Structure 1
Amino acid sequence: MRQVWLISGPPGCGKTSWILDRLKKHNSSCGFLRLSGFSENSLEQANSNEIDYVFLKDQIPQLIDLSKSSDQLCTDQDGLLLFIELPQFYLPKESGLAGIDRRVINQLENLKLIPDKYLHFGRDNELPIVDTLNFEKIESLSINLNETVWDPPSLNTFWFELVNGAYGDVYRAKALMNIIDGRFMLFNWIVSRNGSQFLQLNNFAPPKGRPQRISQLIIQGRNLDFVSIKSTVNLCLVNDAVLQFHQASLGNQQLAAT
């Protein structure tokens, strides 16, 4: 029979990483859904639904996208494990399934995904607490980067400046980036950790034209300089002429090597 687990917690606590670890240990069908969560007073949620799924799908190719699933998933399939990720700033008022926000229950009922188990970072001992932070105020910025390609040196400079306070107090930053040579990179940073995570994903796009895959930058923090961030990002992206020049050069190198 299938199992449906709801995993919630504040930004950067490790929800997606914990889910990935469990999925890697699962030997049968699996699915994933990230809910948007709810902003609370001065705490603004980030629109990062696509980043988490794309990353998990890259690592677990057989992963089912529950946001686009059919009614077939609502049947009891042997060994089917479904994870629902929920960003949530506050501790649940009650333990176990009784602590699920009623608004979330309504969403899940519409999707026919009623949890069998509910765990929240900072409450349940099954989950780590090292990166579980309490936020009093948080702003969020989401930048759609589809079909964009980054200049690597400019990207490295921008990311260093970003996480070191050049554009405000950044608590959380993550992104999927297209690199000029066809690589697809995950950038990940949380204020409670030492250093950033840079991971080259398996989804390589041959350097020919602009890549057709999800790319996005998510930033959460306080006193963020939205205008400067967007302006700097635009300066780091290569235009058509530069992209064509580099891709032609890469193509010539590949021909010479054959």
Structure 2
Amino acid sequence: MDRYPIYLVTGPCGSGKTTWIHQQLTTSTEPSAYICLGADATPIDLTYITATCPHVKPISAGASWTQLAEIQPLYVEIALQLDLATLKLPVDIESCQRIAIVPKGLIESEYHDWATQTLISEVTEKNVALTALPRFGLTGEVLDPASLNIFWDELIQGAYGEVARAKGVFEIVDGRSFYFSFGVGFPDCTYFELPLLPVLSGRPTRFSGLEVVGNNLQPQLIMETLEDCGLDDNALAYYQEQIKSQLSTESPEEALV
């Protein structure tokens, strides 16, 4: 049996690595696998990829993926903080397709030297010093949508420090899960609902969280603001009952709108 390729995808912060991988995965429905090395306990990209590409097998950080790599196409996204020079994998790196996604204007870099193929993204090169990469686990937290929108606008406009890249998965009170993404040099800020079943009983157990990359960030203030956006148990139970009551009185046609 022929062995499918393993794609190692690297590049600077916010260059479009996840976007490129997502584009490849959506052009085919054949079984594939994906892992983000360095995501650890904040699998934002893994959540986004597997929610929008149901044919993709998710591999959690720290899992053994040698066997999967031998039987199906595997996309390995390499996080910013990992050192390419010392990167070690359970497969031979030289046998993999090494792809660098780089922003417009970046001519030479360690990514160019490491990769076997270099692709230029639509993102323009940014000039933000990257001195911090705080991550925030939010699993079980349910946020008020209006408060979340205000927080996100404040975050990307610099209220908590200079942000080069921010991405997150958030649960809101009506049971839906949303993916947010921002990057300096990106054409647009992105946010959309993930195609997941709504959670309207208790707190969701699926992953949610936030990752921010930038300079002079204030992680404690970010976390405190996110906590202020959240609903306590009593408020959550009240709103969930209101939503379920409303859904039960709608006709099937109305419920589908």
Taking structure 2 as the reference length, what is the TM-score of the superposition?
Answer: 0.82
Q: Distance in 1 between matches of 2:100 and 2:247?
A: 49
Partner of 1:73: 68
Paired residues of 2:128 and 2:162 also in contact (CA < 8 A): no
- How far 1:147 sits from its partner (Å)? 0.5
Q: Distance in 2 between matches of 1:220 and 1:13?
A: 13
> Identity percentage over the alignment?
29
Q: Structure 2 residue aligned with 1:214, among 207, 212, 215?
A: 207
Q: Which amino acid aligns with 1:121?
A: I
Q: Distance in 2 between matches of 1:134 and 1:161?
A: 20
Partner of 1:231: 224
- How far 1:239 sits from its partner (Å)? 0.5
Q: Distance in 1 between matches of 2:180 and 2:69?
A: 34
Q: Distance in 1 between matches of 2:42 and 2:233?
A: 29
SS of match in other structure, 1:126? strand
Q: Distance in 1 between matches of 2:157 and 2:77?
A: 28
Q: How does 1:126-205 map to 2 (within 5 A)?
A: 126-128=119-121, 130-133=123-126, 136-205=129-198
- How far 1:125 sits from its partner (Å)? 4.2
- How far 1:49 sits from its partner (Å)? 5.2
Deviation string for 1:100-139 (max 9, x for gaps)? Answer: 93421x2x12xx3644210112334434263444654321
Partner of 1:11: 13
- How far 1:207 sits from its partner (Å)? 1.1
Are 1:121 and 2:101 matched, yes or no? yes
SS of match in other structure, 2:121? coil
SS of match in other structure, 2:134? strand
Q: Distance in 1 between matches of 2:41 and 2:190?
A: 17
SS of match in other structure, 1:17? helix
- How far 1:31 sits from its partner (Å)? 0.6
Q: Which amino acid aligns with 1:103?
A: T
Q: Distance in 2 between matches of 1:30 and 1:222?
A: 36
Q: Which amino acid aligns with 2:153?
A: F
SS of match in other structure, 2:231? coil
Are 1:32 and 2:27 matched, yes or no? no
| Alignment gaps of 5+ in structure 1 | 37-45, 91-99
Deviation string for 1:8-44 (max 9, x for gaps)? Answer: 01111110010010111234221111111xxxxxxxx
Rate the CA distance shift 1:171–1:9 in 2: closer, same or farther, 3 A: same
Paired residues of 2:42 and 2:210 also in contact (CA < 8 A): no
Q: Distance in 2 between matches of 1:63 and 1:52?
A: 13
Are 1:51 and 2:44 matched, yes or no? yes
Q: Distance in 2 between matches of 1:133 and 1:167?
A: 19
Q: Distance in 2 between matches of 1:146 and 1:167?
A: 22
Aligned length: 233
Rate the CA distance shift 1:61–1:7 in 2: closer, same or farther, 3 A: same
Q: Structure 2 residue aligned with 1:82, among 59, 70, 74?
A: 74
CA RMSD of aligned residues (A): 2.3
- How far 1:236 sits from its partner (Å)? 0.4
Q: Distance in 2 between matches of 1:26 and 1:247?
A: 38
Deviation string for 1:130-170 (max 9, x for gaps)? Answer: 34446543211111100000001111111111111111111
Partner of 1:96: none
Q: Distance in 2 between matches of 1:102 and 1:176?
A: 31
Paired residues of 2:100 and 2:119 also in contact (CA < 8 A): no
